[in-house]
Structure 1
Amino acid sequence: MLSRFIMRREQLVLLFVGCAIIAGSGVMYFINASESVVPFPEEPKRPAPETESLIADDPLEPLPVIVSVQGSVQFPGVYRFDKTGRVAHALESAGGEDPGADTTQINLAAQLVDGTTLYVPRHKESNIAASLAKNHGSYLLGGAVSTSSIIDSNATSPLININTATQAQLETLPGIGEAYARAIIAHRTKQPFRKVEDIVNVRGIAEKRFEGMRDQISVQ
């Protein structure tokens, strides 16, 4: 009886010791595991975006140069160019000159002028001087054409054709300075004058100013 009690006691002691060892091993495992955990790295802070400048380098864009290309060209019309445009560029935009065109007196290297007409005559045109006079003066190799070249064949005195005259020629009219000459050219580019009285439709040109030049202008 006593021997059984002693054996039973030894078994309980061994069981207790075994449980203690297992419990201690578990505690040590969790301690080591917690020490070996690598902390999650923090996301680096992003620098604040730089503020873009709202001021343009060149806020003033160049205005287009508008030129009417007429005469002996493939596609007559009104064309837009930048400020570096030349007469050669205008001819190219209009499809080039016709086979019978006469460009011998046209300055292909001349710079285009806003609100003007480039007119290319034919070789056998009846009044080639009057045709050339439709051009802005700088478009001709010989320089500006005198106002006497623009003549109404039915008149007894030289008349300035307000549909084709250059700015310089328009400025020779009484009461017409640089500003009014440019206004006349801008108006006829959009809508040619059908009669001389239509010039009063140009802003700033009233009846009194028109009467002062009535006998010096034509539309043909």
Structure 2
Amino acid sequence: MNFTKREQMVILILVTVIVSIVGYNIIRKDELVITTDNEMKEQEKSVEKEAKIEYNRDKSRDTIMVHISGAVVKPGLAVIKKGDRLIDGIKEVGGLIDNQADLDRINLARVLEDEEKIYIPKIGEESHNKLFITEEKDIDDKSSYNNSLKNDNKLINLNNGTKTQLMSLPGIGDVLADRIIRYRSETRFKHKNDLIKVEGIGDKKFQSIEKLITVN
């Protein structure tokens, strides 16, 4: 079949148009596939990122930080789980120094609280304002020791005690000592139980130090 030049031109144009349309659709389809893959990857990354953030939040809720010094291998901060005991915190700072720590003056079973400052005494070392190494029940059991404190007028005064003295109280670390000082600079303590008004000090912590403080 012979076509005229005009017919040949029309056929060529039609073929060119058809090829262009088919090619465009193929390219567009590839672009859509690539775009869809990229979007899915971005969504996956976003989900993973949010999951990691939530995991870290949950993890942070389950951990506390305490400061342990004295007769330990690596004095400093220990990050432990809520409900962990003193023995767990000591492990995080390298353990006790062999034959130096006075185990009779610490309670390894004590449950630690966030922001605590714990001092591990050495054998033969004088206690000297480091009562925070013992439990409240340990202090109560040593009535003679409590009486000597009272007789020697060594109760910590919330209104004029130094930061070091405040940190010697059970469960009172650097942060809480600063908060107590900040509170009394604005409002003096009129009663011992006013200490509960300081952020971070609850009934349990107050009860553990009530017999060691005064406001006179």
Q: What's the TM-score, normalizing by structure 1?
A: 0.46
Write 1 or 2 for the structure with the bigger share of helix. 2
TM-score between the two structures when normalised by the length of structure 2: 0.47
Structure number with larger C-alpha Rg:
1
